[in-house]
Structure 1
Amino acid sequence: MSGTSQGPAPAADLVRPAITERHANASVQSSEPPQPSQSPQAPQPSQSSQSSEESPTTPAAFSLAPLAMAVVDRDGLVVTANGAMGALLATGSEPLVGRVAADLVDLTSDTRTWHAYREVLRGRQARLRCTRRLKQPDGTWLWVQVSVAPLPEEERAVLLSVTDISANRQLQARLRHLQMHDPVTRLPNRTLFFEQLSAALEREAYDEVGTGRIGLVYLDLDGFKAVNDTLGHRAGDRLLTAVAERLTRCADEAALLRTAGTAAGAPLVARLGGDEFALLVEDSTGTEQLADLADSVLKALQAPFDLAGQRLSVSASIGVVERQSASTTATGLMQAADTTLYWAKADGRARWTLFDPERNAHRMTRQALSSTLRAAVGRGEFVLEYQPLVGMAEGEVRGVEALVRWHHPQFGLLTPNRFISLAEEDGSIVQLGRWILATACRQARRWQTDHPDRAPIFVSVNVAVRQVWDSDLVADVAEILAETGLAPHLLQLELTESALMGSAGRPLQALKALSDMGVRIAIDDFGTGYSNLAYLSRLPVSVLKLDGAFVRGFQYEDGEDGEEGGALGGAGVAAAAAGDVGDVGDAGQPSPADEIIVEALVQLAHRLGLSVTAEGVETDAQASRLRRLGCDTGQGWLYSRAVSPERIAELLGAAACPQA
């Protein structure tokens, strides 16, 4: 024997002597007659009183080992088992020898495990390890880890070991609960919500019993940040907890109202983060059910909250989505809910809004346009059309307004109302505005050169207030005028009344510098914004463009109802649909007050040294009245829609702009 110390014997080594001796004894008994005992005094135990755990051939280490073990033959029957195995399986005094091992530890419950177990018994697979949930005689459940492996140097048996992992499973369950639940409200958190949502969509898509539909109520508290900022985060947490309790009650009440016999339970209530909550409705019966749930949530949150003696009122904005489970995904459903929640906030808050596919399609189109706006300028996708500004007295073209169009490769020809606001939002209006200004000035100079026998016309270009703030507009205009050779007085810049009224600082300084340069400044759509007349004497303005709503309000004489559009004819309807500012107007009811207002504005403008342009002129009767009131120029269907530069060149060659 070596002097080195030996470690504990492996489990297989504990049982190998027992197997070897058992088979050796069986061989001796079959070839030799029984021999008398060498010790007559030693009692011989009877077979009936000997349990499988107390076989004289089993080593003591195997019998006393704390690990539950059993030797199983190649037929799957227990050859021997230790006391720990009997205690773990709670078999009491019932012997395990001869029992089917797979039944003891539930290895037949699924096909995959059962196949792997049989492969180990046949020697075709080295090991099987699996987790099983076993029901004990007293009704309690036990989680165990089962391991099956061949015994070394033993072809006729495998070792089955079973470990109780119930405590670990319970700890894992507690940790998972903490991981999957919000610590403030105790509601399922975002992670668990998405797990449940994905599972629900999968069930609904293939379950023939349910409705096959799913609904989501997605809400956000209005002004919650103010609660945290003013009362502190502790008060905010108490408010979130109180909100969670009310939402849970709403979900429980909704479950009671469900049709009798339905398998669906209460909606899942979750806190997705911050002040965002969601109620998931499986087996939805339609939008009416979701609308009722959203209504109940709004009403539940309307009642004041009592937070440690302090009463607090909050409201919520809610997005509601309901659809077929098979036609959506978790991501798609949440995107729709988030979009609808944004609509509810934009519409005024403290309300719920149902998802609208058409409204969403419009939003998606806006997003697609916004993402390609900047690159479109470089790709040359924009063009300019020009609408004449006609002298009311002589009927000749005095100038044109440049109107931009976008030849979008996917959406076709787009008018300014489809993309200008997007350009202002993302700042690309600076780049686009500079291109419009340069193109319009270049074209105006070309007309001047091509028609030297007539007075040159001016070109009017719309300017967004962001162009004044985000760029050096004065330098841009000076550079473009020098490059194109256009005289400053032949350029008119139009700004809306709301942008001009109240201008101060840099914008006002820029406008004054442009005016001093000789550039004409016009107030577009005058009369629809702030209408602060005191500003007219302070701003460097030379032109007022009256909004077309005033002209539409003129009383028509019999037979002059504005249906026909002069030289434009039927094309006026198309121009109206295009939505160009300054091109056309909406139909309105005649109003004598409008004519009085126009007369007063014209007189006021003239007293201040300003000229007046009327937009939306559609009929001869309107033109006649405007002329009589002293209006200087007109723009609208009566004269022409916005046309190509070539068509303007043709009009410049005529004596006057054609009219009906």
Structure 2
Amino acid sequence: MSGTSEGPTPATELNRSVVTESEILASPGAEFAEPAEFAEPVEPVEPVGSSSSRSPAPPSYRSVFTAAPLAMAVVDREGMVTGANAALADLLGRDQDTLTGAVAADLVDLASDARTWHAYRELLRGRRARLRCTRRLKHPEGHALWVRVTVAPLPPGDGGVLVSVADISDHRALQARLRHLRMHDPVTRLPNRTLFLERLTTALEAESYAESGTGRIGLCYLDLDGFKAVNDTLGHRVGDQLLAAVADRLTRCAQDAGRARAGIPLVARLGGDEFALLVEDSTGTDQLADLAESLLAAIQEPFDLSGRRLKVSASIGVVERHAAGTTPTALMQAADTTLYWAKADGKARWTLFDPERNATRVTRQALASSLRPAIDRGEFALEYQPLVGMDDDRVHGVEALIRWHHPRFGTLTPNRFISLAEEDGSIVPLGRWVLRTACRQARDWQIQHPDEPPIFVSVNVAVRQVWDSDLVADVADTLKETGLPPHLLQLELTESAVMGSSGRPLQALKALSDMGVRIAIDDFGTGYSNLAYLSRLPVSVLKLDGSFVRGFQIEDRAAKASPADEVIVEAMVQLAHRLGLTVTAECVETSAQATRLRRIGCDTGQGWLYSRPVPADRISELLGTPGVQAGVGNP
């Protein structure tokens, strides 16, 4: 019988010259840190040669030892077997006579690791109460044998130790079977998420410290497209058959990839219709791309199941990177994100992880999570851009534009966060704050400049504010609270939001208009085909989309004017005037554009020609100015 590994010191070195009284005294009181497998507590044991007396052994001692079903051997203080019973000989597959005189440590592999070997020697010297360990031995017939070895001292008069060996092979086999069931998916028989993450953790540690190999790792995260429809229409039995068939194809692809390069990727089912392939010691993105292509091709082939031919596709997220500095969580998150990109880009494709795209996603998530708290922390502020009369160059109104002074990302314009606010609903409280702040500021200007014609303030309103809040009540309460006359408030909604409005949105717009509030359509012109719908909406202002204005002749630039844009703008202005609407041109940047718009009949202009968005105090400086000169409001 032999062990599976070699120990640090051959057991035959345990002779009289090794175990001596002088060696014991050389390190009095030495303690041994018992490893976890040594389950028995350390108990005080009298040293060898103690003068304490003991009762003589019962007469049946030898007969009990011989007939016991538990495999046992008596070992002297030198580590040599002085007697062994038949059960031990049967267990180890040896003749009983050959056991006497054998080195006990060699029989049960006690020298295979340093800690066990040290504990065993300490026990022979009388410094340890008991040793228990588990060993995997090789039987002479070739099969593996798992045993639990217990070594305990005999009474001092017997001058040795008793080694007992219990066969735990069946127990270990049961443990292995239970672990296999716990670590594998019953439908596909592939490793499950638990085993996959265990292997991934081990692989990352190995690749991070391995001197040979590439030190890189790759992952293909796969999700079936349309699997839910199969389950819903054909039932879970067919769905399970499809999953098993997919698993077989993935396994074949992994085996083919392993033949091309050393090492077969691990295939696992992570749950539902999600699978993963782990590539250890990867050679780069080309290897992962080739694997992903083969997986897509294999999945797209028809499946013949229960007399039905099914066709499905898959989306795959591919991640490949250095193992050093990578954690299982980070790798799985990257793979999950990339899989989402593959589905968002159209499905039935693979997508490689892009750090820049991921950074944008992370930033977006960070902004989304801090939106609502930012309102309470007062991180938002308003700037105002003048709306200037084309005929008198005076400030008639201002548009309130929100800014987010983010502590991490700096000052953010609305295009960075408004869509997030609409998605999570925080646009409602944020919109209320903008409405109150803008109306309060407009009222302050009215009070501060009593001799000047009051200017109106224009506030942008998202469609979700109309649906998710009582916008009419919010506006009424704000006007009452601030004292701002209704005709000095203008609410802007995009053309796509207003056109086709019915039900609650249309009722809200009509109620606001009846209240005296002006309704403006922002970015008008992108939905020109809906122009006839204007007559049925309570709209008083059109704000022409800046793309038309940019088509006008631009000063000091090589860009050519677009006659078509001028014709379209002129037609829209004339139609708006016939409907009793006023027109504001956005993105006015040059005096040439302003001249053309004035000739066409546009009522007000807004853009950098007059001023960029500025704080409220800069607007106060413009009020009362007889004519707004180009760029006067710009910093």
TM-score bracket for this pair, using the shorter chain length: 0.7 to 0.9
Partners of 1:607 and 1:220 lie apart in 2 by: 57
1:424 and 2:422 matched: yes
| Worse overlay, 546-555 or 642-651 | 546-555
Change over 3 Å in CA distance of 1:456–1:64 after alignment to 2? same
Task: Specify which of 108, 111, 114 is matched with residue 105 of structure 1.
Answer: 108
1:210 and 2:213 matched: yes
Change over 3 Å in CA distance of 1:97–1:593 after alignment to 2? same
**2:144 is matched by which residue type in structure 1?**
W
**2:367 is matched by which residue type in structure 1?**
L
Change over 3 Å in CA distance of 1:623–1:73 after alignment to 2? same
C-alpha displacement at 1:246, in angstroms? 1.3
**1:458 is matched by which residue type in structure 2?**
F
1:187 and 2:187 matched: no
**1:137 is matched by which residue type in structure 2?**
P
Task: Specify which of 379, 389, 392 is matched with residue 390 of structure 2.
Answer: 392
Partners of 1:362 and 1:291 lie apart in 2 by: 24
Change over 3 Å in CA distance of 1:328–1:530 after alignment to 2? farther
Any idea what SS the aligned residue of 1:319 has?
strand
C-alpha displacement at 1:57, in angstroms? 9.6
C-alpha displacement at 1:205, in angstroms? 0.8
Q: Residue in 2 aligned with 1:25?
A: none
Q: Residue in 1 aligned with 2:32?
A: none
Change over 3 Å in CA distance of 1:416–1:249 after alignment to 2? same
1:89 and 2:92 matched: yes
Any idea what SS the aligned residue of 2:420 has?
helix
Task: Specify which of 639, 645, 650 is matched with residue 621 of structure 2.
Answer: 650
1:73 and 2:44 matched: no
Summarize the alignment of residues 118-517 of structure 1 with structure 2, pairs less than 5 Å apart.
Answer: 118-154=121-157, 156-258=159-261, 264-517=262-515
RMSD: 1.8
| Worse overlay, 102-111 or 518-527 | 518-527
Rg larger for: 1
Partners of 2:173 and 2:385 lie apart in 1 by: 78
Summarize the alignment of residues 534-573 of structure 1 with structure 2, pairs less than 5 Å apart.
Answer: 534-556=532-554, 559-561=556-558
| Worse overlay, 604-613 or 278-287 | 604-613
C-alpha displacement at 1:443, in angstroms? 0.8
**1:367 is matched by which residue type in structure 2?**
Q
C-alpha displacement at 1:554, in angstroms? 2.8
Any idea what SS the aligned residue of 1:342 has?
helix
**2:468 is matched by which residue type in structure 1?**
D
C-alpha displacement at 1:596, in angstroms? 2.3
Change over 3 Å in CA distance of 1:529–1:332 after alignment to 2? farther
Q: Residue in 1 aligned with 2:599?
A: 628
Q: Residue in 1 aligned with 2:575?
A: 604
Unpaired segments of 5 or more residues in structure 2?
1-58
Partners of 1:560 and 1:163 lie apart in 2 by: 94
**2:505 is matched by which residue type in structure 1?**
P
C-alpha displacement at 1:58, in angstroms? 7.0
Change over 3 Å in CA distance of 1:531–1:145 after alignment to 2? farther
How much identity, in percent, do the aligned residues show?
Answer: 76
Any idea what SS the aligned residue of 1:368 has?
helix
Aligned residues: 573
C-alpha displacement at 1:394, in angstroms? 2.1
Q: 1:510-550 deviations in whole A, cap 9, x for unaligned?
A: 11110100101111112225852243122211111111111
Q: Is the 8 A contact 1:555 1:592 kept in 2?
A: no
Task: Specify which of 93, 114, 117 is matched with residue 114 of structure 1.
Answer: 117
C-alpha displacement at 1:590, in angstroms? 4.9
Q: 1:368-395 deviations in whole A, cap 9, x for unaligned?
A: 2222211211221111100111112222
**2:535 is matched by which residue type in structure 1?**
S
Q: 1:257-290 deviations in whole A, cap 9, x for unaligned?
A: 22xxxxx411111000011111101001111211
Partners of 1:376 and 1:433 lie apart in 2 by: 13
Q: Is the 8 A contact 1:497 1:530 kept in 2?
A: no
Partners of 1:154 and 1:235 lie apart in 2 by: 73
Change over 3 Å in CA distance of 1:108–1:530 after alignment to 2? farther
C-alpha displacement at 1:409, in angstroms? 1.4
C-alpha displacement at 1:93, in angstroms? 5.9
Q: Is the 8 A contact 1:70 1:82 kept in 2?
A: yes
Partners of 1:378 and 1:140 lie apart in 2 by: 71
Change over 3 Å in CA distance of 1:400–1:231 after alignment to 2? same
Q: Give TM-score, length-normalised by structure 1.
A: 0.84
Q: 1:138-173 deviations in whole A, cap 9, x for unaligned?
A: 222111111111123545111111111111111211
Q: Is the 8 A contact 2:553 2:592 kept in 1?
A: no
Q: Residue in 1 aligned with 2:21?
A: none
**1:615 is matched by which residue type in structure 2?**
E
Q: Is the 8 A contact 1:498 1:530 kept in 2?
A: no
Q: 1:568-589 deviations in whole A, cap 9, x for unaligned?
A: xxxxxxxxxxxxxxxxxxxxx7
Any idea what SS the aligned residue of 2:507 has?
helix
Q: Is the 8 A contact 1:143 1:164 kept in 2?
A: yes
Partners of 1:289 and 1:154 lie apart in 2 by: 70
Any idea what SS the aligned residue of 1:109 has?
coil
**2:90 is matched by which residue type in structure 1?**
A
Partners of 2:101 and 2:228 lie apart in 1 by: 70
**1:517 is matched by which residue type in structure 2?**
M
Change over 3 Å in CA distance of 1:287–1:461 after alignment to 2? same
Partners of 2:131 and 2:344 lie apart in 1 by: 60
Q: 1:350-409 deviations in whole A, cap 9, x for unaligned?
A: 221111112212222222222221121122111110011111222221111000111111
Change over 3 Å in CA distance of 1:464–1:531 after alignment to 2? farther
**2:617 is matched by which residue type in structure 1?**
E
Partners of 2:437 and 2:552 lie apart in 1 by: 36
**2:417 is matched by which residue type in structure 1?**
F
Any idea what SS the aligned residue of 1:294 has?
helix
C-alpha displacement at 1:77, in angstroms? 0.5
**1:431 is matched by which residue type in structure 2?**
P
Q: Give TM-score, length-normalised by structure 2.
A: 0.87
1:592 and 2:592 matched: no
Q: Residue in 2 aligned with 1:615?
A: 586
Q: Is the 8 A contact 2:460 2:491 kept in 1?
A: yes
**1:120 is matched by which residue type in structure 2?**
L
Partners of 2:103 and 2:630 lie apart in 1 by: 104
1:62 and 2:65 matched: yes
Partners of 1:169 and 1:127 lie apart in 2 by: 23
**2:465 is matched by which residue type in structure 1?**
Q
C-alpha displacement at 1:180, in angstroms? 0.5
Unpaired segments of 5 or more residues in structure 1?
1-55, 259-263, 563-588
Any idea what SS the aligned residue of 2:263 has?
coil
Change over 3 Å in CA distance of 1:530–1:194 after alignment to 2? farther
C-alpha displacement at 1:474, in angstroms? 0.7
Partners of 2:172 and 2:566 lie apart in 1 by: 84
Partners of 1:322 and 1:269 lie apart in 2 by: 16
Partners of 1:425 and 1:530 lie apart in 2 by: 27
C-alpha displacement at 1:504, in angstroms? 2.1
Q: Is the 8 A contact 2:554 2:590 kept in 1?
A: no
**2:86 is matched by which residue type in structure 1?**
G
